[in-house]
Structures are given as C-alpha cells and as structure tokens.
Amino acid sequence: MVQAMEAQPSGIGIAAPQIGILQQIAIVDVSDRVRAAKRLYLVNPRLLEAKDEILSREGCMSLPEYTAYLKRYNQVRVAWQDENGEHQEKAAIGIEAICIQHEIDHLQGMLFIDRVTALKTDMIPRAKTLKKTSN
C-alpha cells in the first residue's frame, strides 16, 4: 500500500480496496503539506465527530482523470487501531481531516464522485487543473 501511494505524484492517502485488498485499512500521510503531520496507518477507522462543512477539491488515484468539488468536514475526530493493534484517537483538521474522510469512504465502497452534487459543474478534467491532490 505504501508503494502504491508513493507512486502517485502527490498521493496523500490510500485505502486497501483501491489495490484489491478487501480489508478496513487505509494510510493517510499529509506530512508533505503539514509539517507536524505523521503518517497514519488506520485499521478499522471510524469518525467520532465531524463539524465545520466546507467545499473540498479532491482527486483520487482510482479516478485519475478528474478532480471535483464536494462537501467535507474541516474538522473530524477519528478512532482507529494502529499497525500494532493499539486503539488510537485524534482530532484532525484541514487537508488531513479531508483525506481521512476520503479514505474512510473508500473503505465503505464510495468514491469522491459519489458525493458530488452536480457532475456537470463540479467535475473538472485533470488537464485543466494546475494543482493536483490525489488521495
């Protein structure tokens, strides 16, 4: 999973089902963009709280041709088991919170386009975009 994530030009996350592993595991790593962030190995992650809805522009390695605008929460509290099976909890904000929501969606069989409300106006072909975010 780490290899597949790092193979993406600006990959900040990956969920096991994206590479054919049907388990509740995801990796989120926004340390390139948020200095204090650490790589999170999320086993059985679940949101405990979510607030502060915002518009997020996202891409995904499972749908490389597009980015899209969709609603996400800017602040979440997430619980999971780490790679050692230990219970963990943390509050995340901004891009880390959004990436966590994106990866939990994958674990539930959803892609970001499933949350787009207006496909015509909110989907943007990659070629027209300068800033790329893949997770």
Cβ distance to Zn ion smaller for residue 37 or 61: 61
The nearer residue to Zn ion, 60 or 68, going by C-beta atoms, is: 60
Cβ distance to Zn ion smaller for residue 85 or 92 = 92
Catalytic sites, residue numbers: 103
Q: Which amino acid is located at 111 in the chain? A: L
Q: What are phi and psi of 113, to 5 degrees?
A: -65, -20
Report residue 98: phi and psi, to 5°: -70, -40
Q: How far is the CB of 56 from Zn ion (least distance, A)?
A: 12
CB of 51 to Zn ion, least distance (A): 22
By the 8 A CB rule, do 1 and 27 touch? yes
Please identify the residue of the shown chain whose CB is closest to the bound Zn ion: 60
Minimum CB distance to Zn ion, residue 28 (Å):
11
Binding site for Zn ion (CB under 5 A): 60
> Among residues 47, 43, 61, 25, which one has the least CA distance to residue 96?
47
Among left, alpha and beta (phi > 0; psi -120 to 50; other), residue 44 is left
